[in-house]
């Protein structure tokens, strides 16, 4: 295959500066342009843009390219994009190689411009060597199980289960708690339809019960996962908390083609003392919501009538960068919720007065009308600077809140409060076992990480495992459902066609070298190697559909007869040779 | 003379350690730029001859960012990878190269910080090895 000189195209991405701010992409282009086998070498502001992809297709067709390298982000993000581009251009998609010069170069070495540039040139050079020795391959097709496991029966999980079921997919829903509904089930009137959270969940649950292809397990958790996209084998542990005194557990095993995680968030719990939290008359947002729902004709707390309510915003959100492990994010829902609760309070108890101590009012989109309604209802807004939060002092049986109000030129204003409501935000729910079993990546904010927030917002690096809702980051109920339906579309698109195309990078035995010692058979975890006759000798042969492409048969072969497609000795060693090369100006 | 900067070849794995290494980059966690990664499907598929080839042809150290217990292919991945490391170290001894030039550690898909620490400490160990060889 090496006799004929290859015609390889190389595209190097600026990623709009994400790469080119730290890597001299033009220098890299110049260096690889000279490499043997390279026909075209270009840079592009965004290689993933339609315009750039069209340029690549044009190059492949016009110049008769038979190999393609794009040096850009992690293959987790755009490998498929460019394989599809290759297919559209008539190039075998497996003769495309993605080189990661963003996550593993420009970002990791943003402190070392020269080092990053040298490394990028090495990495691109290695990619070229790899594709140079890459034969055309066809994907291996396996059947997929038309079943999905949904983890978490909150609004996002329930909504996803219904939609999947109606697409003809069998759905298992597991919920850790003894009841469905998650956080939404605890909510009162929701904006804008005015529907009660518990009612909303009850309606969804009723729909779930109507569908025979949805099975719901309460008190249930995922404990083991094996297999791969299209065919996962899972173990679920179910706690039996029936009226019988002795608690028992049972485990069941199910097979699914995909997994959707909608495990939700946790409300921020202020440490004792943050804005006097822990003392009488100081509540979190959810506790106040509950109080409002439970209250009858009078708004009472600890048996005393509540007249003045102080809402303090951004508690547990937008924390300072100086704070260790601080919550840097805006929790999105809390400005809208607090203003909404103030409007409801005023409607129910016209004599009550609400004071809002806020940093920035983020009632975005349609929620802006809540802010307007709150203003019209006579509630009072006072704005504080992050550096000068409101001060709480006890005043008899209630509190006195002092603030330097930016809306009145920084005047110090003192407000009496019978109740102080801390407008608490969202934090990541601790799900250590789930994270461990699924190997889901966590961000520094401890929420689950999608592959890309805009381009692949519900997919994870684990093929066939999707995430949606507030387990990804702060979202309100509507936004959670939107993302869960996106995940439904992704999972259903995968499963409804009944098969998954797996990568053809499987093992292969060079029959001419093999003398049948059987070591590869012993090493293979999938019994994918069999003995066949080859001329007048016996040799090993790989059964493609059984081989998972792990390469466990490679190190055990004393004659280097077993090779993994895409990772042959020639490919790996040629890559190593280029990676070892010092750049001309390197020390 | 600038300070000696060891060149390290890392073998990572598609589904386990490579995402962990990506995460380090995503979080802008710096480590030496002379760390270069080749990704393979599973650390059980790494060959001693590749490791030996790297150390014979310009690399100062080889680090296997192993699947460990997170491996989705083989349950005894750690033992298999360890056998590969031992075999490679055997090849090195024949050429009087230090076995410590090959190192393995499990790096999971979220082990960004541990990867960064490994790269910094391995780089430092190789630098010390080089200066000891020079006799200073």
B37 touching A, CB under 8 A? yes
Q: Say if A1 falls within a structural domain.
A: no
* Gap between the Cα atoms of A148 and A169, Å rounded: 7
For A576, which of B41, B42, B50 is closest by C-beta distance? B50
Q: Is the CB of B73 less than 8 angstroms away from the CB of A226? A: no
pLDDT at A1: 46
For A550, which of B33, B41, B109 is closest by C-beta distance? B41
CA distance B87 to chain A (A): 9
* Residue where the block lists tokens 């598929």: B45
* Gap between the Cα atoms of A587 and A120, Å rounded: 16
pLDDT at A585: 46
**Helix axes A477-495 and A155-166, enclosed angle (nearest 10):** 30
A305 touching B, CB under 8 A? no
- A518 and A496 in one domain? no
Find the angle CA(B62)-CA(B63)-CA(B68) to the nearest 5 degrees: 145
The predicted complex's ipTM stands at 0.97
Q: Which of A431, A468, A456 is nearest to A164 (CA)?
A: A468
- A12 and A123 in one domain? yes
Number of other residues whose CB lies within 10 A of the CB of residue A437: 18
Per-residue pLDDT of chain B (136 residues; tens, 9 = 90+): 468 999 999 999 998 899 999 999 999 999 999 999 999 999 999 999 999 999 999 999 999 999 888 777 887 899 999 999 999 999 999 999 999 999 999 999 889 999 999 999 999 999 999 888 876 5
Report the Cα B99 to chain-centroid distance in Å.
Answer: 12
* Gap between the Cα atoms of A430 and A263, Å rounded: 10
- A168 and A129 in one domain? no
* Gap between the Cα atoms of A253 and A354, Å rounded: 53
- Which of A460, A580, A581, A583 is most worth mutating to test chain B (most B CB atoms within 10 A of its CB)? A580
Q: What is the domain-level CATH number for residue A75?
A: 3.40.50
* Gap between the Cα atoms of A47 and A78, Å rounded: 10
Give chain A's domain count. 4
A580 touching B, CB under 8 A? yes
- A172 and A234 in one domain? yes
CA distance A147 to chain B (A): 20
B117 touching A, CB under 8 A? no
- A420 and A273 in one domain? yes
CA distance B74 to chain A (A): 6
- A319 and A292 in one domain? yes
Q: What is the domain-level CATH number for residue A552?
A: 3.30.70.20
Per-window interface: B 57-116 vs A, CB < 8 A = 57-59, 70, 72-75, 80, 83-84, 87, 108-110
Q: Which is it for strands A220-228 and A214-217: parallel, antiparallel or unpaired?
A: unpaired
CA distance A200 to chain B (A): 36
* Gap between the Cα atoms of A155 and A185, Å rounded: 8
CB A450 within 8 A of CB A306: no
CB A250 within 8 A of CB A238: yes
Q: Say if A438 falls within a structural domain.
A: yes
Which residues share a beta bridge with A254?
Answer: A234
* Gap between the Cα atoms of A45 and A346, Å rounded: 54
A124 touching B, CB under 8 A? no
Q: Is the CB of B41 less than 8 angstroms away from the CB of A567? A: yes
Below-50 pLDDT ranges, chain A: 1-2, 585-587
Q: What is the domain-level CATH number for residue A483?
A: 3.50.50.60
A587 touching B, CB under 8 A? yes
- A290 and A210 in one domain? no
Q: Is the CB of B109 less than 8 angstroms away from the CB of A439? A: yes
- A417 and A290 in one domain? yes
Q: Is the CB of B109 less than 8 angstroms away from the CB of A109? A: no
Peptide bond into A172 cis (omega under 30): no
> A579: which chain B residues are within 8 Å (Cβ-Cβ)?
9, 36, 38, 59
Backbone angles phi, psi at A140, to 5 degrees: -100, 125
pLDDT at B70: 77
Q: Is the CB of B32 less than 8 angstroms away from the CB of A115? A: yes
Q: Which of B98, B93, B122 is nearest to B9 (CA)?
A: B122
A455 touching B, CB under 8 A? no
Question: What six digits make up the tokens of A309?
Answer: 């309510």
**What's the burial of A412, exposed, middle or buried (CB within 10 Å: 0-12/13-18/19+)?**
exposed
Find the angle CA(A560)-CA(A566)-CA(A570) to the nearest 5 degrees: 45
A235 touching B, CB under 8 A? no
Q: Compare all CA atoms of chain A with the CA of B75 and give the residue at the minimum distance.
A: A525
A108 touching B, CB under 8 A? yes
pLDDT at B135: 66
**All residues at 6 or more sequence positions from A578 whose CB lies less than 8 Å from its CB, including other chains:** A122, A125, A126, A128, A129
For chain B, give me the number of helices (H) and strands (E)? 4, 4
Q: Is the CB of B30 less than 8 angstroms away from the CB of A109? A: yes
Report the Cα A524 to chain-centroid distance in Å.
Answer: 33
Q: What residue numbers bound the domain in which A336 lies?
A: 268-425
Q: Is the CB of B74 less than 8 angstroms away from the CB of A444? A: no
- A437 and A401 in one domain? no
Q: Is the CB of A552 less than 8 angstroms away from the CB of B26? A: no
Domain ends where: A104, A137, A170? A137
- A420 and A275 in one domain? yes
Q: Which of A120, A108, A123 is nearest to A27 (CA)?
A: A120
- Which of A104, A559, A566 is most worth mutating to test chain B (most B CB atoms within 10 A of its CB)? A104
CB A10 within 8 A of CB A32: yes
CA distance A374 to chain B (A): 40
> B84: which chain A residues are within 8 Å (Cβ-Cβ)?
555
Question: What six digits make up the tokens of A122?
Answer: 């090495």
Q: Is the CB of A104 less than 8 angstroms away from the CB of B22? A: yes
Domain with residues B8-133, CATH architecture: 3-Layer(aba) Sandwich (3.40)
- Which of B10, B38, B61 is most worth mutating to test chain A (most A CB atoms within 10 A of its CB)? B38
A122 touching B, CB under 8 A? yes
A241 touching B, CB under 8 A? no
pTM above 0.90, yes or no: no
Question: What six digits make up the tokens of A271?
Answer: 């440490």
Which residues share a beta bridge with A516?
Answer: none
């Amino acid at each position: 295959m090496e006799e004929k000189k290859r015609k390889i195209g190389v595209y190097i991405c600026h990623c709009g500066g994400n790469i080119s701010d730290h890597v001299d992409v033009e220098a890299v282009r110049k260096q690889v342009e000279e490499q043997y086998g390279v026909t075209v070498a270009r840079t592009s502001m965004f290689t993933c843009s339609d315009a750039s992809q069209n340029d690549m297709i044009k190059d492949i067709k016009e110049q008769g390219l038979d190999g393609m390298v794009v040096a850009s982000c992690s293959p987790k993000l755009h490998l498929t994009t460019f394989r599809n581009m290759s297919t559209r251009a008539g190039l075998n998609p497996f003769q495309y190689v993605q080189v990661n010069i963003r996550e593993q170069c420009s970002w990791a070495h943003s402190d070392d411009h020269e080092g990053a540039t040298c490394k990028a040139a090495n990495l691109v050079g290695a990619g070229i060597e790899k594709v140079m020795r890459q034969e055309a391959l066809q994907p291996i097709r396996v059947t997929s199980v038309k079943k999905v496991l949904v983890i978490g029966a909150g609004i996002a999980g329930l909504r996803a289960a219904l939609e999947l079921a109606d697409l003809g997919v069998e759905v298992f829903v597991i919920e850790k708690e003894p009841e469905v509904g998650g956080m939404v089930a605890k909510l009162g009137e929701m904006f804008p339809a005015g529907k009660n959270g518990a009612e909303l969940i009850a309606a969804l649950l009723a729909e779930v019960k109507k569908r025979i292809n949805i099975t719901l397990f309460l008190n249930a958790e995922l404990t083991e996962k094996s297999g791969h996209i299209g065919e996962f084998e899972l173990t679920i542990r179910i706690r039996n908390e029936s009226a019988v005194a002795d608690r028992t557990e049972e485990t069941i095993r199910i097979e699914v083609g995909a997994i959707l995680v909608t495990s939700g968030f946790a409300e921020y719990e202020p440490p004792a003392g943050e804005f006097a939290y822990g003392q009488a008359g100081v509540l979190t947002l959810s506790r106040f919501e509950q109080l409002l729902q439970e209250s009858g004709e009078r708004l009472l707390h600890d048996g005393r009538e509540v007249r003045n309510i102080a809402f303090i915003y951004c508690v547990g959100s937008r924390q300072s960068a100086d704070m260790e492990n601080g919550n840097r994010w805006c929790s999105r829902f809390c400005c809208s919720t607090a203003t909404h609760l103030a409007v409801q309070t005023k409607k129910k108890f016209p004599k009550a007065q609400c004071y809002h101590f806020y940093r920035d009012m983020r009632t975005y989109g349609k929620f802006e009308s809540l802010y307007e309604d709150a203003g019209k209802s006579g509630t009072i807004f006072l704005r504080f600077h992050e550096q000068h939060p409101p001060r709480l002092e006890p005043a008899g049986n209630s509190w006195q809140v002092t603030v330097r109000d930016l809306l009145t030129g920084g005047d110090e204003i003192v407000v009496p409060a019978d109740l102080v409501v801390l407008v608490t935000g969202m934090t990541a729910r601790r799900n250590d076992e789930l994270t461990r079993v699924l190997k889901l990546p966590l961000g520094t904010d401890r929420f689950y990480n999608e592959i890309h927030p805009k381009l692949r917002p519900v997919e994870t690096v684990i093929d066939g495992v999707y995430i949606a809702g507030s387990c990804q980051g702060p979202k309100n109920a509507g936004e959670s459902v939107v993302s869960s339906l996106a995940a439904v579309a992704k999972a259903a698109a995968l499963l409804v066609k009944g098969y998954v195309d797996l990568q053809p990078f499987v093992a292969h035995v060079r029959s001419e070298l093999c003398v049948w010692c059987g070591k590869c058979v012993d090493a293979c975890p999938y019994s994918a190697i069999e003995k066949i006759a080859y001329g007048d000798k016996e040799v090993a042969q790989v059964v493609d559909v059984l081989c998972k492409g792990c390469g466990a048969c490679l190190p055990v072969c004393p004659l280097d007869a077993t090779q993994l497609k895409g990772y042959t000795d020639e490919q790996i060693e040629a890559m190593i040779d280029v990676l070892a090369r010092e750049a001309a100006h390197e020390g | 003379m600038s300070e000696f900067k060891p060149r390290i070849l890392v073998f990572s794995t598609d589904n386990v350690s490579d995402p962990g290494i990506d995460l380090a980059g995503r979080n802008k966690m710096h480590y030496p730029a002379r760390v270069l990664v080749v990704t393979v499907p599973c650390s059980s598929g790494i060959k001693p001859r590749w490791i030996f080839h790297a150390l014979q042809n310009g690399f100062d150290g080889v680090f296997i960012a192993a699947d460990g217990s997170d491996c989705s292919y083989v349950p005894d991945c750690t033992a298999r990878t360890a056998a590969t490391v031992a075999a490679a170290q055997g090849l090195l001894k024949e050429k009087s190269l230090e076995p410590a030039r090959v190192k393995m550690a499990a790096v999971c898909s979220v082990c960004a910080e541990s990867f960064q620490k490994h790269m910094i400490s391995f780089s430092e160990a190789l630098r010390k090895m080089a200066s000891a060889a020079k006799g200073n």
